[in-house]
Amino acid sequence: MMKIPPLAQLGLLIPVAVLIWFAVFVLSYHIFTLDVPIKIIGLKPGLTIVQDITILPVTLRVKNISYYQLRTFQQPVAQLDVSFVSDPGNYNIKPTVELDASDVWLVGYRPELINIDIAHAVRAPVSLDVDVMGFPANGYALDEVSVAPLQVQMIGADRLISTIQKAYVVINVSKKQSSFVAKAYPEVRDSKGNKLANIKFDPSEVTVSATINKGEMFKTIGLTPQFTGKLPAGYWISIVQFDPPAVTLKSSVKRLENINSIQTTAINLANRINTFSDEVGLEIPAGVSVEGNKLVKITIQINNSPFSRRMVLTPNYLNVSPGLKVVSTSPSTVSVVLSGPSDKLDTIDPNKARLEIDIRSATSGDNTVKIEQSMFKLAEGIKVISFEPTSINVALTKTN
């Protein structure tokens, strides 16, 4: 038998290896799911989308040789065409996915129909804060930042705009050694600092200026919670804990010398009756950067005061005009939270706690009556903490 020299054997192996590589990396396929940005098209003037619709999870089948270009410079595009919508309402719309890369096939996406709420667009003014990203070069600090204009118009659904207090523009000062001016684009964020895409702005572009000088400083300071809404009557906050308990700021000496605490983004207390934890963002002053994470964990302990008591009272009506009588009230009762010595609260006589409403000016038909603290008649030493509702509807009719 003829023997093949070693070099000849190597020459035979190289083409085989090339064929294997070609089969594995060129002819084989890869199936994966990619989060594809959604582009809204055809939205008519005066309308807006309520939900924050940004991505569509798309499953693709692609040749391995095309995988890199698909993930980098030839990414798919998802479109949501709402050009047929002329009036506000709720709609189920099927998105379309465009594939520009070669050797790529669409397997599917979820959801196949996207449910959206379309509402009339409204406008409201909002002030701009500057959110500084990065740090200047070593030995330099950001002294001043400014934005022009200071106020822009938000455009979006009323139910969203009514909850927004502030908008932001981002300026990147990474490794900068000198002052500069740049264009920036307003944005609004949720409580965790995530950008909301369904709010537009007029103007959509503003100018930010940054003054950078030599010198920098670090300062570690505590945190202050910022609340919106109110706890139900009789409940109160006993402990607020942060993790981490403080943050380290970086800026110029001038900017940090008057900063003694940092507020969180707003925390909604409405209807809270139990201790809870959440992650919240920080309201960082313009021109100041945070070392580390801009999110902190907050734990809020809620207690029900042992020196309070809730009662439900039925109104007593005084000075009803002659010839009239009360036929209905809505709501029919008022809930009141009382405070005082525990022994008096425990033994309070419900029959001696009264709500007296003077309706001498009420007329036949429906009357809205505002409830005031002075209308509650209570034993000495008992006080009203809160009550709800703050007004009731009293219907009167003629007696004959």
CB neighbours (10 Å) of residue 324? 16
Strands, sheet with 276-280, edge to edge from the N-terminal-most edge strand? 235-243, 296-304, 276-280
Q: What is the pLDDT of residue 4?
A: 53
Q: What is the pLDDT of residue 327?
A: 81
Whether 239 has a pLDDT exceeding 90, the answer reads: no
CA 364 centroid distance within chain: 46
Q: What is the pLDDT of residue 387?
A: 83
Q: What are the start and end residues of each CATH 2.170.120.40 domain in the chain?
A: 122-214, 218-304
- The number of residues making up the chain comes to 400
Q: What is the pLDDT of residue 26?
A: 47
Whether 245 has a pLDDT exceeding 70, the answer reads: yes
Q: Higher pLDDT residue, 121 or 285?
A: 121
Cβ atoms of residues 338 and 379 within 8 Å: no
Cβ atoms of residues 44 and 81 within 8 Å: no
Q: What are the start and end residues of each CATH 2.170.120.30 domain in the chain?
A: 23-119, 308-398
User: How does the average pLDDT of the chain come out, rounded?
Assistant: 82
Whether 164 has a pLDDT exceeding 60, the answer reads: yes
CA distance 80 to 111: 12
Whether 128 has a pLDDT exceeding 70, the answer reads: yes
Tell me the CATH architecture of domain 218-304.
Answer: Beta Complex (2.170)
User: Which superfamily does CATH assign the domain made up of 122-214 to?
Assistant: YbbR-like domain (2.170.120.40)
In this prediction, residues 125-129 reach a mean pLDDT of: 92
* pLDDT tens profile 15-40: 655 555 444 444 567 787 888 889 99
Per-residue exposure over 363-373, b if at least 16 CB sit within 10 Å of its own CB, e if not = eeeebebebee
Q: What is the pLDDT of residue 298?
A: 92
In this prediction, residues 189-216 reach a mean pLDDT of: 85
* pLDDT tens profile 256-267: 777 878 889 889
Contacts for 160 with CB less than 8 Å, ≥ 6 apart: 50, 196, 198, 199
CA distance 285 to 282: 9
**What is the domain class of 23-119 according to CATH?**
mainly beta
Phi then psi for residue 19, to 5 deg, are -65, -40
What one-character-per-residue DSSP string does 47-110 give? EEE-S---EEEEEEEEEHHHHHHHHTTS--EEEEE-TT--S-EEEEE--EEE--SSSEEEEEES
CA distance 37 to 197: 11
Cβ atoms of residues 204 and 128 within 8 Å: no
Per-residue exposure over 152-169, b if at least 16 CB sit within 10 Å of its own CB, e if not = bebbbbeebbeeeeebbb
pLDDT band at 5 (very low <50, low <70, confident <90, very high): low
Query: Among 63-77, 197-211, 233-247, where is mean pLDDT lowest?
Result: 63-77
CA distance 300 to 2: 86
* pLDDT tens profile 333-375: 888 888 777 777 777 777 778 899 888 888 888 888 889 888 9
* pLDDT tens profile 326-340: 887 888 788 888 877
CA distance 177 to 38: 38
Contacts for 368 with CB less than 8 Å, ≥ 6 apart: 391, 392, 393, 394
Record the pTM: 0.48
Q: What is the pLDDT of residue 25?
A: 45
* CA atoms within 13 Å, Cβ hemisphere of 283: 18
* pLDDT tens profile 287-312: 788 888 888 999 998 877 666 777 88
What one-character-per-residue DSSP string does 364-385 give? SEEEEEE--GGGEE--TT-EEE
**What is the domain class of 308-398 according to CATH?**
mainly beta
Q: What is the pLDDT of residue 206?
A: 96
